[in-house]
Amino acid sequence: MMMFIVDAMLGKLAAWLRLTGNDTFYSTQLHDDELIRIAKEQSRILLTSDAILARRAEDAGLEFMLVRGSVDEEIASVFLKFGIKPDADPAKSRCTKCNGILTHIKNDEKQRIEGLVPEQTFNYYTEFWLCKYCKSVFFQGGQWTNIEEYMSRIAELMKKLET
Ligand SMILES: [Zn+2]
């Protein structure tokens, strides 16, 4: 199981890594020194768009990738390099906000998330995923359709990058 640490400039990449089920450390509060230290201590692959930080990671003997291009290219190239499938399955996803593990909430235990989502959402959907740590709630609503669309776009781009 690969684990990542992502620099502050790559927030979208961090979210998509989490959605595709990858343990991803991300914070906008960390200095380069701390990124290097955490990568080393937790054996995380450092993803950065900063050439100087990439150089430091190399010197420290860390596994890293210098990520370049548009957001789509960043995501596609990282997925390609590390063999990540562009497939966001809520049963495997991590919380996009805090990297927490999600708990599946079935229809008959739905009261556990009452008050954490708007009433309409609560009434309409029958399946939810709850982050134990930050209490964010996810569900396969309209948003999830967009997630699938975006992942197929990334899949296309990965094919292009491969050739
Ligand atoms: Zn969370």
Ligand 1 center from residue 13 Cα (angstroms): 17
- The answer to whether residue 23 is domain-embedded is yes
Ligand 1 center from residue 112 Cα (angstroms): 16
Sheet hosting strand 128-131, strand order edge to edge: 102-105, 128-131, 137-138
Q: What is the pLDDT of residue 90?
A: 85
Ligand 1 center from residue 133 Cα (angstroms): 5
- The answer to whether residue 101 is domain-embedded is no
- The answer to whether residue 16 is domain-embedded is yes
Give dist(CA 133, CA 113) in Å, integer. 13
Instruction: Please report which residue ranges of 20-107 form alpha helices under DSSP H.
Output: 32-41, 51-59, 71-82
Neighbours of ion ligand 1 (CB under 5 A): 95, 97-98, 100, 131, 133-134, 136
- The answer to whether residue 137 is domain-embedded is no
Ligand 1 center from residue 71 Cα (angstroms): 23
Q: Tokens 């008050």 correspond to what residue?
A: 115
Which domain range does residue 44 map to?
3-87
- Mean pLDDT of each 10-residue bin along the chain, 163 residues long: 94 97 96 97 98 97 97 98 94 94 95 94 94 93 85 97 88
Beta bridge partners of 148: none
Beta bridge partners of 5: 25, 46
Could you tell me the CATH number of the domain that includes residue 57? Answer: 3.40.50
Give backbone dihedrals phi and psi of 65, rounded to 5 degrees, phi first. Answer: -145, 130
- The answer to whether residue 95 is domain-embedded is no
Number of domains the chain contains = 1
- The answer to whether residue 128 is domain-embedded is no
Residue 37, both tokens: 């230290």
